[in-house]
Amino acid sequence: MGLTTVARDLGAGTFGGCSGILAGQPLDTIKVRLQARPDHFRGIIDCTLKTLRHEGARGFFKGVVPPMVGNGPINALLFATEAWSVRTVSSWRGIDAQDETKLSHLDRFYCGCAAGFVSCIVGAPTELVKCQLQVQLGSSKPLFVNSAGCVRALLADAGVFSGLYRGFALTVWRDTPSFGLYFLVYNWQKAVWLSLLGVNEHEHRTQSAWSVRTSS
Query: Tell me, what's the pLDDT at 190?
Result: 87
**Residue ranges making up the domain that contains 148:** 2-215
Residue 146, Ramachandran bin (φ over 0: left; ψ between -120 and 50: alpha; else beta) = beta
Percentage of the chain modeled with pLDDT above 70:
88
**Max alpha carbon distance in the chain (Å)?**
62
Residue-wise pLDDT for 162-172, tens only, equals 999 999 999 99
Which of 21-30, 77-86, 174-183 bottoms out in mean pLDDT, i.e. has the lowest? 77-86
The model's pTM: 0.82
Q: What's 196's domain CATH number?
A: 1.50.40.10
For residue 216, what pLDDT is reported?
34
* Separation CA 116–CA 118 (nearest Å): 6
Do residues 176 and 117 touch, judged by C-beta distance below 8 A? yes
Burial label, 123 (beta-carbon count in 10 A; 0-12, 13-18, 19+): buried
Confidence (pLDDT) at 93: 87
pLDDT of residue 16: 85
Distance of CA 210 to the CA centre of its chain: 30
Q: pLDDT value at position 7?
A: 73
Measure CA 54 to chain center. Answer: 30
Cα dihedral value 185, 35, 27, 13, nearest 10: -40
pLDDT digits (tens, 9 = 90+) for 26-59: 999 999 999 998 899 999 999 999 999 999 999 9
87-99 confidence digits (pLDDT tens)? 999 999 888 766 7
Task: Give the length of the chain.
Answer: 216
Examine the pLDDT at 213 and tell me if it is beyond 90: no
- The tally of domains found in the chain comes to 1
**pLDDT exceeds 90 at position 175:** yes
Give the DSSP letter string of 74-121. HHHHHHHHHHHHHHHHHHHHT--TT-GGGS-HHHHHHHHHHHHHHHHH
